[in-house]
Amino acid sequence: MSELPVEIHWKSVRDHSRSFWDFTYVYPVVSRRSRGLSIGINLNPDKVCNFDCVYCEVDRTSPPKTRTVNLLQIRAELAAMIDLAQSGELGRDPKFSEAAPLTCQIRDIAFSGDGEPTMVPNFDECVAVAVEVKAARKLDSTKIVLITDAAGLDKLSVRRGLAIMDASQGEVWAKLDAGTEEYFRKVNRSHVRFDRILANLSLTAQERPIVIQSLFLRLHGEPMSRAELDAYCARLNTLQSDAGQIREVHVYTIARPTPEPWATRLELPQLEEAATVIRNATGLKVLTFE
């Protein structure tokens, strides 16, 4: 697939709404980290999540479209969205006018929505549907991505789903926003124990290369401290020493409105500074996304 630039100021990049036309579960976005068109599958139209991140842009004050996951409808919507992209019709939608050339190439099909995808009880069946549609549309080079907070990576249905993904250009993008339990509680505000997150990252990375996705921000005007960043780097080094495979680290910041006014974005020089620390401390490939 050709590489075209993705500009942060584009409407299609700034707006990652999970609502598009009359679709319920499937939505298109132009993603900085996917480097082009990503077709999302929202397995959490009920907006249920096991994290309550201070930077989450999901509006949980409005009622959900539905509280169930309909596999037949997901199959039909995914096939229809792929057809819209491949025919060029998606690029003619006003939302994608600035990025029309990017919308004909589907970089990935991503399980990412209004909550944590691994919370659905039949995650493996959802993956199987996506793989079948991808194969039917001959999207041989298109990835299937799970964007996850890692809390459910130890569940049996999730592990079965990951095995299916492994055979179909699958990638796990797993969240790690902290180095310590204290900072994890401040940013991700989850009832899940931090050591479970770390154990699940290790378990998953021992079986396949994963991408670590980390959102860095300011809390009450203060960026992550150097001590916290060092602790974060130590977590990555522990994962590697435990035979975990980390393909790369994505360091990014807030791009859309947050529910907490005191959770604010970092500027690119600060992101780059943090990325340099991580590279030097871990030897990993680190990419930044403003």
CB contact set of 80 (below 8 Å; sequence gap of 6+): 23, 26
User: What is the structure's pLDDT at 17?
Assistant: 59
**Which CATH class name applies to 11-289?**
alpha beta
CA-to-CA distance for 148 and 279, rounded, in angstroms? Answer: 23
Q: What is the pLDDT of residue 196?
A: 98
- Residue-level pLDDT, tens digit, the chain, 290 residues: 445 566 665 555 555 556 677 899 999 998 888 888 999 999 999 999 999 999 998 887 777 778 889 999 999 999 999 999 999 999 999 888 888 888 889 999 999 989 999 999 999 999 999 999 999 999 999 999 999 999 999 999 999 999 999 999 999 999 999 999 999 999 999 999 999 999 999 999 999 999 999 999 999 999 999 999 999 999 999 999 999 999 999 999 998 888 899 999 999 999 999 999 999 999 999 999 97
In this structure, the number of other CB atoms found within 10 A of the CB of residue 65 comes to 15
Q: What is the pLDDT of residue 149?
A: 98
pLDDT, residue 249, reads 98
**The predicted structure's pLDDT at residue 142:** 97
User: Is the whole model's pTM more than 0.85, yes or no?
Assistant: yes
**Domain ranges (residues) in the chain:** 11-289
User: Would strands 246-252 and 143-148 be described as parallel, antiparallel, or unpaired?
Assistant: unpaired
